[in-house]
Amino acid sequence: MKILFCRHGETQWNTEGKLQGHLDSGLTVKGEYQARRLGEQLALHQPDLILSSDLGRAMATAKLANHSLNIPIKSSSLLRERCFGDLQGQDYRESQHLWEAYERRFASNEVDIEGAESATDVLSRVKHFLHGLSSTDVKTLVVIGHGEWLRVIQNLFAGEQAWSNRQLLPDNCDIIEFNLQSFQLDALT
């Protein structure tokens, strides 16, 4: 199975410097354009199915991309962005101590923010998602998710710690191609 991992289109909060996590904001005009262009790029791969995070920005991206694809879309909470607790909805000018804790997220698994999800919590969701793919019978799958979630899965594929920052955060509507045959699902336990 070929998997095309994609990040959602640009949102209003992306432009305002607000951290979204499990909260949401709508796509900007640019984000809508990115999503439609993503669909055109994905059409070259002839995908069979879109799996999207259940958060609004990812689902909006999936629906706009699907204008060029016309394939089924399913959603999953396993693809949600990492939760950053009390920092969610805050911009970089607010809650300086929380932003400092956020910037230290690459130093260890836990983040010193009330209600924040650890990197290994996200990794657990990633593994659960990947195990579920064994019952998905498609040749090419599109997965639309979020930046930190995608960084964690890239860390897994690269053999890095879940909280590592060695993998680049994908830009909005970037595509990361991966062939599931080259990865051993048995190694995920």
Which is the catalytic residue, given 16, 22, 40, 81? 81
Q: What is the pLDDT of residues 5-64, one digit of tens each?
A: 999 999 999 999 999 999 999 999 999 999 999 999 999 999 999 999 999 999 999 999
User: Amino acid identity of 96?
Assistant: Q
Is 81 known to be catalytic? Answer: yes
Span 134-167, pLDDT tens digits: 888 999 999 999 999 999 999 999 999 999 999 8
**What value does the mean pLDDT take over residues 73-83?**
98
pTM value is: 0.94
Distance of alpha carbon 178 from the chain centroid: 14
| pLDDT cut 70: percent of the chain above it | 95
SS3 label, residue 64: helix
**Cα 164-188-115 angle, rounded to 5 deg:** 50
The answer to whether residue 131 is catalytic is no
| In contact, 159 and 117? CB cutoff 8 Å | no
Rounded to 5 degrees, what are φ and ψ at 51? -110, 125
Mean pLDDT for the chain overall: 93
